[in-house]
Amino acid sequence: MILKAIPLLVLFSGAVAQVPPGRNNRSFESFEVATIKLVKPEDVRAPRYIRMESAHRFIVKNTTVSGMIAAAFNLNQNMISGGPEWMTAGRFDVVALTPGDERPTLDDQMRMLRRLLTERFKLTFRTEKKKLPVYVLTVAKGGSRLSPDTVPQDQSPLLTPTLFPAASGGIDHVLIRGRNATVPQLASILQRAVTDRPVIDNTGMQGRYNFDLEWTPDDSQFGGTLPFGAPDSGKPGLYTAIEQQLGLMFNSTKRDVETLIVEGLEQPSGN
């Protein structure tokens, strides 16, 4: 049986985190225009993602304000507290147009998303250090299995996550395909969208790599929102997959991390 792959939720693909040489990114302070709509209750099971749909069209689909904050500030959901109940219950669609002639980098996109949150949702917050359970990403005893990329360093990195459904219903496994990607970028995606706690990169690896990470998710991942079915592929769990496929490993501990406390938030106007 051929199963159709589904784009992964609340993740980014094909985005550059650095500014190419000679580029001026001061024009990417805010979106030119943005439309915000509250998702109808009957539509909340639709796919959820945040991404550039084209060179100048930024899309937030079926995402909570808490999810937008996590993406915009590169946080795990457990690093966000405070705020009204609708911050984690209501879901929104955002369609925004970006300024300038160039496609914004991931840093540009998140800067503009932060501006949208403060201007349209009236987000106010403070930060506070808290001791939280974390995963520390390190190199496994057998050494890294990541393959160095040989493309120019200023070429766009790709981190393309995909969900594969199970024949019996639910999700069978997840694939994150990385090309010209860094270990910190992988840790960032795992932290803000996959794991139930912050992820701290302690590998010391500075290069860009090609890798495929495949695993069967459990109910502690993706905020417990994935529909789980009986897996068919026999893929390992995330922590085993990271060690077997990438030569990296998670160590559970507690660390002082900077958290975000929402002090003010308002329902936005539609336009």
pLDDT tens digit string along 94-124?
999 999 888 888 889 999 999 999 999 999 9
pLDDT at 225 over 80: no
The position carrying tokens 């970006």 is 98
Mean per-residue pLDDT, 27-49: 84
Task: Match 């594969």 to its residue by tokens.
Answer: 164
Instruction: Provide the terminal-to-terminal Cα distance of the chain, rounded to the nearest Å.
Output: 45
CA angle 51, 155, 52 (to 5 degrees): 10
Is the CB of residue 64 less than 8 Å from the CB of residue 85? no
Q: How far is CA 230 from CA 103, 204, 224, 234, 236, in A?
A: 41, 37, 16, 10, 13
pTM: 0.81
Return left, alpha or beta for 62; rule: phi > 0 is left, psi -120 to 50 is alpha, else beta.
Answer: left
**How much is the pLDDT for 25?**
47
